[in-house]
Structure 1
Amino acid sequence: MSVMTKKALASTLKSMMERSSLEKITVKDLVAECGVNRQTFYYHFQDIYDLLGWIYKTEALDAISNCRTYDTWQHGFLKIFNYVLDNKKFCLSTYRSMGREHLDLFLHQAVFDLLMGVIEEVNAGKQVRSEDKKFIANFYTFAFIGIMLEWIRNGMGEDPSLIIDRLSILVEGDVEKAISKYVHIS
């Protein structure tokens, strides 16, 4: 019952964000539209922003869990783009609100986890320190997020698969080079 309630609250919030900015949505309005009481909401979430973070974690992160390898990272990144595109109004509303931190955190977690999977695979058999692997993953994470945020800021008009194709050409072989450079300083 608990997951169903969370999903109902999530669905209601997403629906409301298509009509109104996040800052104008109150817990009172949300629970009234969802048909639950305030206590039920607060049993599951601290506030609207907590619910927002839960939506991003549960809806999109699971979809990329099997795309964290050197051969599948492009597919995982495309899934992130497609999630944002499929939930365009919701994501744009988040992007333009005080809840943007949740979108940024979602993107960072999704991309970082995806890239760490790739780095761990490339690092197999090599001795690279954990902090160096994290540094490499963060470098590429911020680059990829910057590209995605620019795409969002520009209205999501460009085909995500074209962006992924260009990224693939740009970074091909770079993770292996980075790992090999850090093998020598570890």
Structure 2
Amino acid sequence: MKHEVTTLNTKKMLSASLKHCMEKKSLSKITVTDIVTDCGLNRKTFYYHFQDVPDLLKWTLEQEAVDVVKQFDLLNELEEALRFAVRYIRENSHMINCAYDSIGRDELKRFLNHDFQSIVMSIVEQIERKENVHTDPDAKKIICNFYTEGMAGELVDLLKSRDAAQDEKSIRCISLVVRTSLEAAVISCSKMQ
């Protein structure tokens, strides 16, 4: 247990240093040396925990946002989960915009796709349990890809928006689309078998 706590604390130190470095430099210019110098650790420690700087950024986003969103009952609390995600984007706008500016919209979206896939898959599986249906794995993959692209794209687009009213409208619209059409898609695809 002590090792796990130490590992988590070390990762959090590296994450905090990455954020600090992103206040001064673009992501593409930040080196492992910059990060370990900032937090007083060594390169060996960095590489024990992470492959490279993008791996640390991915862990940071997963730890601070994606894993929290996964704890919501996404079928019933999707709007709250989306509000959390948008609030996280706003509160960490410098870090996220730095990543956006360094790697671009498409790469940031691709970067987040894996995590969004698991979020959408959990919603699909909740619908299957609720409706007592089984969807073909290939159909589930298509459904997840479709909704992942849409949700990830909309959230990435919110990065450049500064309008709270637009944020709320986007949250309500995404939630409505997912709640109504995703359930219908899962039910319809389960009948295709």
TM bucket, shorter chain = 0.7 to 0.9
Q: 1:105 deviation in Å?
A: 4.5
Paired AA for residue 144 in structure 2 = A
Paired AA for residue 158 in structure 2 = W
Quote the residue 1:76 is aligned against: 81
**1:3-43 deviations in Å (ceiling 9; x for gaps):** 21111111011011012111222222221111112222122
Q: Which residue, 179, 182, 188 being the options, matches 1:181?
A: 188
Is the Cα contact below 8 Å between 2:75 and 2:179 reproduced in 1?
A: no
- TM-score (norm: length of structure 1): 0.87
Q: What is the aligned-residue RMSD (CA, Å)?
A: 2.2
Quote the residue 2:24 is aligned against: 19
> Per the alignment, do residues 141 and 67 of structure 1 end up closer, same or farther by CA in structure 2, a change over 3 Å counting?
same
Paired AA for residue 163 in structure 2 = G
Q: 1:184 deviation in Å?
A: 2.3
Q: Which residue, 108, 117, 124 being the options, matches 1:119?
A: 124
Superposition pairs for residues 1-186 of structure 1, below 5 Å? 1-98=6-103, 103-105=108-110, 107-124=112-129, 125-152=132-159, 154-159=160-165, 160-186=167-193
Paired AA for residue 44 in structure 1 = H
Aligned partners of 1:127, 1:9: CA distance in 2, in Å? 43
Percent of pairs identical after alignment?
A: 32
Paired AA for residue 29 in structure 1 = D
Paired AA for residue 150 in structure 1 = D
- My pick for the range that moved more, 140-149 or 69-78, is 69-78
**1:119-163 deviations in Å (ceiling 9; x for gaps):** 1122221131122122112111111122122222x3443443321
Aligned partners of 1:9, 1:168: CA distance in 2, in Å? 34
- TM-score (norm: length of structure 2): 0.84
Aligned partners of 2:63, 2:146: CA distance in 1, in Å? 25
Q: 1:171 deviation in Å?
A: 4.3
Paired AA for residue 137 in structure 2 = S
Is the Cα contact below 8 Å between 1:14 and 1:90 reproduced in 2?
A: yes
* Structure 2 unaligned residues grouped into runs of 5+: 1-5
> Per the alignment, do residues 58 and 172 of structure 1 end up closer, same or farther by CA in structure 2, a change over 3 Å counting?
closer
SS across alignment from 2:103: coil
- My pick for the range that moved more, 98-107 or 52-61, is 98-107
* Structure 1 unaligned residues grouped into runs of 5+: none
> Per the alignment, do residues 174 and 99 of structure 1 end up closer, same or farther by CA in structure 2, a change over 3 Å counting?
closer
